Structure 1
Amino acid sequence: MITHFYPTALRIITCIVAVCSAVSATLLGTAPPPQGLVVLDPTDLRTTAVVLTISLGVVAPVAVLIADPLRCLLLKAAVFAASGFGNAMMLSPLLVVPFQETPTLLAVICSLALTVASIVAYMESVERKNARRRANT
């Protein structure tokens, strides 16, 4: 059942993840560096967070759309899990800026939803292959 809706959900929710991640990275990139850090350089921390958010939250999920929706499902699950954790990093009290929490939280929830959907679609495809193999023997 999920494999029927998975390609459409993949496109729509991936676009939501990419847009929310881009908005979050833009808000963080335009904000001043975080204050109160003693050991870490605030500018380097902000730059690293922006680069990770762009790479894990925008580039990687959009790159997943290039492949066939029902191929490499475990790889897609791993990419969306990394995207979710990369966006969750942006919710740190040291990094968060005003208005950034909402798009970041939406990106995290959508990424984790696609991770679960990819795993379920993979399990369903394996079950279908096993059923075909049993029917042939």
Structure 2
Amino acid sequence: MTAELYRFLPKILGYLTAAFSGISAVLIWTFPPAEGLRTLDPLALKNTMVALLLAFGTAALLATVLSPARKWLLPKIAIFALAGFSNSAALGPEVTVPFQWTTSAIATVCALGVEVLTIVAFVDSVQERNAQQSTPSWGETP
């Protein structure tokens, strides 16, 4: 069951996450920086969030989604987590702009959903590998 779901569901959720991350980055970039920040530079915060969303939420995520489905599951888990965390960081009150809250929230949920699915696929592949190693061959007694 996991193998059937893992063929197409991560690609769908990954493309959705990348699209909504890109939309969030564009929305943050087009609006002026936040006013009234005393300890943080508003322009540096805005540029950092745009760079994080483009790097982890879009570029790294697309590279992960376009790679073979059942290979490199542990690095995929890390990249999906980074995509989710970068989108959730964009939900902060210092960064949020109109409509961007919605796109970042959707991207966060999609990224965490595909991360959980990848963890399940990884556990399933480990169990399959252990089952193959523990089966006796012809002539051996269990």
* TM-score bracket for the superposition, by shorter chain length: over 0.9
How far residue 67 of structure 1 moved from its aligned partner, in angstroms, is 2.1
Alignment partner, residue 38 of structure 1? 38
8 Å CA contact retained: 2:3, 2:121: yes
Q: Deviations for 1:102-130, whole angstroms, at most 9, x for unmatched residues?
A: 11001000111111111110100111111
Runs of 4+ in 1 over 3 A off after TM superposition: none
Q: Deviations for 1:20-58, whole angstroms, at most 9, x for unmatched residues?
A: 001101110000110111121111110111011110100
Query: 2: distance between equivalents of 1:83 and 1:65?
Result: 12
RMSD between aligned residues: 1.0
Query: 2: distance between equivalents of 1:49 and 1:105?
Result: 15
SS of corresponding position for 2:135: helix
Query: 1: distance between equivalents of 2:54 and 2:66?
Result: 18
Q: Identify which range, 82-91 or 58-67, moves more after superposition.
A: 58-67
Alignment partner, residue 106 of structure 1? 106
The percent identity for this pair of structures is 36
Question: In the alignment, residue 55 of structure 1 is paired with which amino acid?
Answer: A
Instruction: Output aligned runs, 1:7-46, within 5 Å.
Output: 7-46=7-46
Query: 2: distance between equivalents of 1:76 and 1:41?
Result: 33
Query: 2: distance between equivalents of 1:135 and 1:60?
Result: 38
Query: 1: distance between equivalents of 2:63 and 2:26?
Result: 20
SS of corresponding position for 1:34: coil
Query: 2: distance between equivalents of 1:136 and 1:94?
Result: 60
Alignment partner, residue 87 of structure 1? 87
Q: TM-score, normalised by structure 1?
A: 0.96
Q: TM-score, normalised by structure 2?
A: 0.93
Question: In the alignment, residue 53 of structure 1 is paired with which amino acid?
Answer: L
SS of corresponding position for 2:66: coil
**Aligned residues between the structures:** 137
Larger radius of gyration: 2
8 Å CA contact retained: 2:15, 2:65: no
Query: 2: distance between equivalents of 1:73 and 1:125?
Result: 9
Question: In the alignment, residue 41 of structure 2 is paired with which amino acid?
Answer: D
Q: Identify which range, 124-133 or 23-32, moves more after superposition.
A: 124-133
Structure 1 position 78 matched with structure 2 position 78: yes
**Which residues of structure 1 form unaligned runs of 5+?**
none
Query: 2: distance between equivalents of 1:134 and 1:119?
Result: 23
